[in-house]
Structure 1
Amino acid sequence: MYDPIPHTGGANNLLVDLARLDADLPLKYSGQLGDDEDGRFVLETLAAYPNIDVQNVTIRGRTAKSLAMTERESKERTFFYDPGSSLDFCIDDIDFEHLEADFFLLEYLLLFGKLDEAHPEYGTYGAEVLHAAQKRGMKTFVDMVSEETTRYESVVRPALKYVDYYISNEVEASGVLGYKIYDDQGIIEDMLPEALDKIKEYGVQEWVIIHSPKAGYGLNCRTGEKVKVPSMDLPKGYIKGTTGAGDAFCAGVIYSAYKELDLTQALRNGAMCAALSLSKEDSNSGVTSYEEMQNTRF
């Protein structure tokens, strides 16, 4: 059995999570929405957070959307994606002058159309966008979707030359690496040190982070330090829904980078933020302010 729960999508989930963590944090959104019911739903949701600036949203065509089907008992999810008219979104749709900021997140690689295509100079058009952000002094984050294909090599790897902070789960990291670092029992920890180093070699400058249901693993690219932080030990029956938990993890890590916290604390904040997200059926309402999150006991 499935229950319909509305979600605003990955990039919007992450924006809302950050807005809930810190109501004074200035956030700017660039993307493409359609002039339709789904697009209006996204904008209305974001409008509830005064610190989210949506002036750089392009209104064109039909809004992209995913149907995230969560099975009521097992919480297992299946996604059905409709790209709408977003496949032609490109660097010309991004007003970098208006988006002047400290950090820039591009998501989701592998779901873009034009931005996932090959570029003669940068490797992909997505890599061109990240390069443009870095040229303007922004630290870059990149996120991607989980799929079992070989496209990671041609789409994600070129972008990593222009990435400061890399965050993915074990499935996505396996795609980037070209070999699996997990089995039926979960992530294979003995493979993590080499995996983190290999992803760094593709060009990541600051942190490489791989998260899984049981723990988050990180590499500080500047010092070589590797850390592991276990996920929160949640009581039975705590999890109400899993959609958006990965976005919440990313929000916790990004906020930690913004606050100049160390890698260990960033992984802990990511795990805590994800745990809060899991407490509700929707993607965001479980996420609290940063101060409340630090005082939460699971």
Structure 2
Amino acid sequence: MAAPKGVVTAGSWCCDHNKLVDHWPSEDGLATIIAEERHGGGSACNMAIALKKLDPDFLVETIGIIGDDEDGRLLVAEADSHGIERSRLRIVTGGRTSYTDAFALRETGRRTHIFFPASSDLLTPDLCDFSGIRASHLHLGLPGLYPGMDAPFAAEPNGWVAVLKKARAAGLRTNMELASVAPDTIARLVRPCLPVLDFLIINDVEIGALAGMPTGSEGSTNVAACRVAARKVLDAGAMDLLVVHFPAGAIALTRSGEMLAKPSLRIPAEEIAGANGAGDAFAAGILYAVLEGWTLADALALAHAVAAASLRRVGTTDGVLRWRECLALADRWGWREEID
């Protein structure tokens, strides 16, 4: 009997203290918080919840570390409410849960994150035990934010490589999510991971950092440069699928030579509340569709639809809907112009 498909998420569980502001102030300036709320955040949390919202019957397990404070209890409640298997979500007695002050700008939806690591500094490869895991795929993140994972571990250049190798030894296929850290940090920590990754779903800035080349400037994406960078990164790793997303769309490359481009949804400006978590939502759409056996074209369409649904709320996963409802948004709003 085949092993059940599903995803175990590992790494970042934090509490997002989301704040919608009227403008972004200059240094020593003042802005007004229009709305605020607390929700789960971090790569492991966001992917786990997004997958369960897309399909409540989809198998999702998680590995992480949180404190036993109010933020930690909120995360446990969110995991339980969505049916996420969390027996490997370690709760540190007396510990503080990591949190992010996530500021979203009302006019553009762009966000700025200020991160407090707290208990997540205790995350190490030893915490990632895959014995008894039922899922078929690992989603791991975020390099550059966790000293215990960023440092060399045993004979490996860093803990991320060690965990990916452990997962593969346990029969799991692997995916990694990156964070908006310095390009040289991304290159240093993630390039050694490429030979033990099966998937990589990242943005235009991150692919440029990995390839060591510019892929845009002043918020504008150079799609042609992204294609070159993606090919360079794919050739340096073992990935069967590499997807690069950006506001106007996404490109996908496969080990077999397939290359697809898909524009993003034409979401009305008044529907956008914040971009926090949109990249996680996009990746959730890709992983769900691929594991369900969809074509790559359909996977890209779903990923954009899930990301667009996410944009409607300030929280990272609040706007995510069942997959059919996400696709209904695509039918309603339509698509941007084709990517050159």
TM-score bracket, normalised by the shorter chain, equals over 0.9
Counterpart position of 1:246 = 279
Which of 70, 91, 94 does residue 104 from structure 2 map onto? 70
1:19 Cα offset (Å): 0.4
Which of 235, 242, 252 does residue 218 from structure 1 map onto? 252
Counterpart position of 1:88 = 122
**2:311 pairs with 1:278:** yes
**2:220 pairs with 1:186:** yes
Question: Contact 1:123–1:159 at 8 Å: present in 2 too?
Answer: no
Question: Contact 1:56–1:98 at 8 Å: present in 2 too?
Answer: no
**2:45 pairs with 1:18:** no
- SS at the partner of 1:7? strand
**2:229 pairs with 1:195:** yes
- SS at the partner of 2:134? coil
Counterpart position of 2:85 = 53
Letter of the 1:102 partner, please give it: S
Counterpart position of 1:295 = 328
Moved more, 33-42 or 5-14: 5-14
Question: Contact 2:278–2:311 at 8 Å: present in 1 too?
Answer: yes
Letter of the 1:281 partner, please give it: V
In 1, distance between residues paired with 2:105 and 2:228? 35
1:281 Cα offset (Å): 2.6
C-alpha change, 1:181 and 1:64, in structure 2 (3 Å) is same
Letter of the 1:218 partner, please give it: A
C-alpha change, 1:149 and 1:195, in structure 2 (3 Å) is closer
Q: Which runs of 5 or more structure 1 residues have no equivalent in the other structure?
A: none
Counterpart position of 2:40 = 8
**2:179 pairs with 1:145:** yes
CA RMSD of superposed structures (Å) = 1.5
Letter of the 2:314 partner, please give it: E
Moved more, 236-245 or 36-45: 236-245
Question: Contact 2:208–2:226 at 8 Å: present in 1 too?
Answer: no
1:185 Cα offset (Å): 5.4
In 1, distance between residues paired with 2:184 and 2:170? 32
Counterpart position of 1:34 = 67
Number of matched residues? Answer: 296
Question: Contact 1:167–1:210 at 8 Å: present in 2 too?
Answer: yes
Question: Contact 2:110–2:274 at 8 Å: present in 1 too?
Answer: no
- SS at the partner of 2:209? helix
**2:260 pairs with 1:227:** yes
Question: Contact 2:152–2:158 at 8 Å: present in 1 too?
Answer: yes
Counterpart position of 1:114 = 148
In 2, distance between residues paired with 1:121 and 1:142? 21
1:205 Cα offset (Å): 2.2
Counterpart position of 2:9 = none
After superposition, what is the alpha-carbon deviation per residue over 1:70-94, rounded to whole angstroms, capped at 9, x for unaligned?
1223323211111102123112212
**2:302 pairs with 1:269:** yes
Counterpart position of 2:76 = 43
Question: Contact 2:215–2:222 at 8 Å: present in 1 too?
Answer: yes
C-alpha change, 1:149 and 1:194, in structure 2 (3 Å) is closer
Question: Contact 1:147–1:172 at 8 Å: present in 2 too?
Answer: no
Segments of 4+ moved more than 6 angstroms = none
After superposition, what is the alpha-carbon deviation per residue over 1:13-34, rounded to whole angstroms, capped at 9, x for unaligned?
2211110111101110100001
Counterpart position of 2:200 = 166
In 1, distance between residues paired with 2:298 and 2:99? 33
- SS at the partner of 1:144? coil
Letter of the 1:231 partner, please give it: S
In 1, distance between residues paired with 2:186 and 2:322? 35
Q: Which runs of 5 or more structure 2 residues have no equivalent in the other structure?
A: 1-31, 334-340
1:218 Cα offset (Å): 0.8
- SS at the partner of 1:193? helix
Question: Contact 1:193–1:226 at 8 Å: present in 2 too?
Answer: no
In 2, distance between residues paired with 1:265 and 1:190? 22
- SS at the partner of 1:287? coil
1:153 Cα offset (Å): 2.1
